[in-house]
Structure 1
Amino acid sequence: MLIDAVPTNPVPTTLLIERSADRVHVQLHRPEVRNAIDQTMIDELHSVCDELEREPRILILSGSNGVFASGADIAELRERRSTDALKGINSGLFSRIARLPMPVIAALDGWALGGGAELAYAADFRIASTTVRLGNPETALGILPAAGALWRLAQLVGEPVAKQIILAGRILTAGEALAVHLVTEIHESVDLLAAAHALADRIGAQDPLATRLAKEVFHAPLDAHPRVDNAAQAILFESPEKFARMDAFLARKKRS
């Protein structure tokens, strides 16, 4: 049930935000520039991260007017210099989104290019509409995709496909993105948000603490395993929710 559809204070100017008990839906909303990511949007997404770090919930990211995000705001990007690059303006935000305690779902419609694609790569789940176009055309503009594509994309689709996208400017269609597992579902645009919420429902049916710890351990460095797995399991083995859920399972099995 929707419990709060009022944006945070101060009122965001580039985002539309809906909150419910177990999730927050953030819609990128700069339709006049195809949801290009500017500094204001970065700052407002940081505020969303503040909220979700304090009160962990599932995050759904979507676009508006048939576009996820066409990339970084080129007019703003044109004026950035070397000192701005070293600040990691976009990469810092996207890494923060990737580290959020609960899963992040990116619902991709239309253009998801450049920084928009890199924002999607930071999500735990990517689902797409039939109209999606995913890629990183930064080198055509004399820069490189420094907000995650140069390392996240190879992890997601493998080095050969990642190099086609980054070094040769390949833009993936929905079917191509599905074939390389960059997205896991394709829907008509009109059904995309419902599919994102259906996925959030499946995530929400799991134990929140187990989900949070599983995400954290999943992203732990390789040399930390299995120590971190065992430490997380030790916490869950003492969790009241573990006993409640296992007791319910055993009761259902006994009745069947």
Structure 2
Amino acid sequence: MSLEEGVQFRIDGPLGFISLNRADRANAYMDSMLEMIEHALANHIATAEVHAIVFESASGGRFCSGADLDELGLRSGADALNLKSMKVFDEIAACPKPTIAAIDGPAVAGGLELALACDVRLASDRARFAMPETSLGLIPAAGATFRLPRIAGDAVARRMILFGEELNAAQALECGLVADVVAPEALADEVRRWGTKVAGLDPLALRLAKDVLAMTSNDDACRRQTLDSQARLYERRHIGDHLDE
């Protein structure tokens, strides 16, 4: 899969964009796409004129449906202990520049975990959010177990992670999961408005503020337990048995 086919990146003013480009699979990501995201992220971090980094879909009406189910079905317990998605989303969370998820359409499973790794989430009014992993015999394994409770609150996180409850855009705004909701045709302008705001701030102050905020929570224990639990679920029975149901 080429960079153009799976992930696109570009610079527009103060914003560096990373666009998921797999519309035929609702932007489900494979490990090869995660490597492309790493490459694009590093490029934007190293580019001085980029003040903030935006994650979006290259086409409207969808954000990301999470991991590709065909690839997911091939994973073993050992694979679960070294998930590429956890590594890449941690890198996004640790990015020295502010990150924005522009969510138009569904952000599901790992797609929501990608958005949770960003500093700010902006949504269109047709966005929706869900964590359906338990219906597949799994748990969210790329950050939702510790990021979602902190961002949206413990009660909302439990309903979404344990019971698969779906939130619409208005509900996501109410619980703080997203910072703003606009019409789909206004989402690009809203992203640019945030980009203009970030461009007027001091880059060093932003980076240091992000560093301090990261110190307010220690996710290491939860991260280890998440991966250990996912490994047990992979080993219990072949994941493909659930995905075929």
Same fold by TM (over 0.5)? yes
Equivalents in 2 of 1:120, 1:77: separation in Å? 20
Give the one of 95, 98, 105 matched to 1:103: 98
Distance, in Å, in 2 between the alignment partners of 1:212 and 1:221 is 15
Separation in 1, partners of 2:214, 2:17: 23
Q: Could you tell me which amino acid in structure 2 is paired with residue 200 of structure 1?
A: G
Output one character per residue of 1:164-199: Cα deviation in whole Å (capped at 9) or x when no partner: 000000010000000101001001111112111111
- The more displaced of 39-48 and 161-170 is 39-48
- In structure 2, relative to structure 1, the CA distance for the partners of 1:191 and 1:21 (3 Å cut) is closer
Partner of 1:77: 72
Give the residue type in structure 2 aligned to 1:44.
M
Superposition RMSD in Å = 1.6
In structure 1, what is the Cα distance between the partners aligned to 2:13 and 2:188? 18
1:18 alignment partner in structure 2 = 10
| Superposed counterparts of 1:45-124, under 5 Å | 45-55=37-47, 57=50, 58-63=52-57, 64-124=59-119
CA distance in 2, matches of 1:126, 1:144: 22
Which structure's CA Rg is the greater one? 1
| CA positional deviation for 1:21 | 5.1
Please name the residue that 2:161 is paired with: 166
Q: Which structure carries more relative contact order (alpha carbon 8 Å, separation 6+)?
A: 2
Consecutive unaligned residues in structure 2, runs of 5 or more: 219-245
Give the share of equivalent positions with the same residue, in percent: 35
Alpha-carbon contact 2:9-2:40 (below 8 Å) kept:
no
> What's the secondary structure of 1:219's corresponding residue?
helix
| Distance change (3 Å), C-alpha of 1:171 and 1:209 | same
Query: What's the CA shift string for 1:85-113, capped at 9, x where partnerless?
Result: 11121111000001111100001111100
Aligned residue among 40, 48, 55 for 2:32: 40
Secondary structure at the aligned position of 1:13 is classed as helix
- TM-score when scaled to structure 1? 0.80
Paired residues for 1:208-223 under 5 Å: 208-221=203-216
CA shift in 2, pair 1:11/1:88, >3 Å: closer
Q: How far apart are 1:200 and its partner, in Å?
A: 1.0
Q: Residues 172 and 222 of structure 1: is their aligned pair in 2 closer, same or farther, counting only changes over 3 Å?
A: closer
1:30 to 11, 15, 22: 22
Say which SS state the counterpart of residue 11 (structure 2) adopts.
Answer: strand
Rate the CA distance shift 1:11–1:173 in 2: closer, same or farther, 3 A. Answer: closer
How many residues are aligned here?
Answer: 214
Q: Which residue of structure 2 aligns with residue 187 of structure 1?
A: 182
- Structure 1 residues 222 and 181, CA gap change in structure 2 (3 angstroms): closer
